[in-house]
Structure 1
Amino acid sequence: MVGEQMNFLNGYSRLVRGVDQWALNLAAAMLLAIVCVNALSIFFRYVVEAPLSWSEEAMRYGNIWVTYLGAIAAQVRSDHMRLELPYASHPTMGQVLRLFGAAAAIVLALFLVWLGTRGALAALGQRSPSARIPMSLPYAAVPLAGIGILLAAGYSFLCALRRVEEVR
């Protein structure tokens, strides 16, 4: 039974690391695209004197994606803000707080998936005014981030639960 649990956790860990790497690579590509679009926008505005009407909108939607992909990476690395004193002063209390934090992240992620999917589906027929980007694309960042956060928080929850059981 313990060996099966370890195999499951090892596989789950590889999945979470893969999602993390995918999110970081996609965020880096988006950030590079934002910088390139910004440079093009500056060039066209001041050199060609024919500003791009779609650049600002495209960069805004890219920033939305970078933010949500960064939230996945922050959840995987446990880099969200927290107070360290309760974790350091009492190990058992720290494990219980980790368990509670992971459970809260799971609930938040479920809301992101549910509400984000509803928002993306509601925007299926719409296009952005200048860039003509399907509006479901920027909205899709929310449920996708929810799925990534859910996977990472689920792994954190299982690890924290295992540590609480080990302390007993």
Structure 2
Amino acid sequence: MKQALLQLDRWSTTAAMAVACLMLTIASALGVFQIVTRFVLEQPAEWSEILIRISLIWMVFMGIPTAFRQGAMVSVDVLYRWSPPKVRRVLDWFVCLAALSLIGVIIWWGWDYAQRGSVQSMAGLESVSMFWAYLALPVGGLFSVVGILANLVDPQRNELDTAQ
């Protein structure tokens, strides 16, 4: 079970980070495009601004699973350093349950928001539904669940090792 979870985590974290990097690339390219069309050609492309926002939202929510996996999202470093090993494990469980609770809310309400937004179209892209923008919340949340559970099973605390 542990090996299967860690293998799923390696796949999902790599995929999520690849999507996050792709979204950053798209946002950067569209930003340059928007600057050129607005200030050089003096013909601004209205659709590029909404796509930049959406790609940044997707970038953030697809980058969060990597932060959770590395234990960098919810950090209790001082308590962890000062605690004996048994208390450290209790802290691991507490952080895991708190993070899962938060991500559960994000998944639940993110999916609800995406469904409600499916009747709304994007400004500048009238043929594209806002569902695709709001879908970043539950998708990123689902990838985060895997990272949170993998961090509980196999904690990674590289930043604590170098700071001591």
Question: Which of the five TM-score ranges fits, normalised by the shorter chain?
Answer: 0.7 to 0.9
Higher relative contact order (CA 8 A, sep 6+): 2
Matched, 1:28 2:2: no
Task: Select the residue among 133, 137, 140 that pairs with 1:138.
Answer: 133
Tell me by how many angstroms 1:154 deviates: 2.5
Identity of aligned residues (%): 24
Q: Which residue of 1 aligns with 2:159?
A: none
CA distance in 1, matches of 2:101, 2:139: 15
Largest Rg, 1 or 2: 1
CA distance in 1, matches of 2:75, 2:149: 18
| TM-score normalised by length of structure 2 | 0.86
Mean alpha-carbon deviation: is it higher for 107-116 or for 22-31? 107-116
| TM-score normalised by length of structure 1 | 0.84
Q: Which residue of 1 aligns with 2:111?
A: 117
CA distance in 2, matches of 1:26, 1:83: 28
Matched, 1:105 2:92: no
Matched, 1:95 2:89: yes
Tell me by how many angstroms 1:57 deviates: 1.2
- Counterpart residue identity of residue 82, structure 1: S
Tell me the C-alpha RMSD between the 2 structures: 1.5
CA distance in 1, matches of 2:60, 2:90: 29
Tell me by how many angstroms 1:81 deviates: 4.6
- Counterpart residue identity of residue 13, structure 2: D
Matched, 1:147 2:142: yes
Return the structure number with greater strand share: 2
Secondary structure of the residue aligned to 1:54 is: helix
Tell me by how many angstroms 1:20 deviates: 0.6
CA distance in 1, matches of 2:21, 2:60: 11
CA distance in 1, matches of 2:19, 2:82: 38
Q: Which residue of 2 aligns with 1:54?
A: 47
Show structure 1 runs of 5+ residues with no match.
1-7, 161-168
Matched, 1:69 2:62: yes
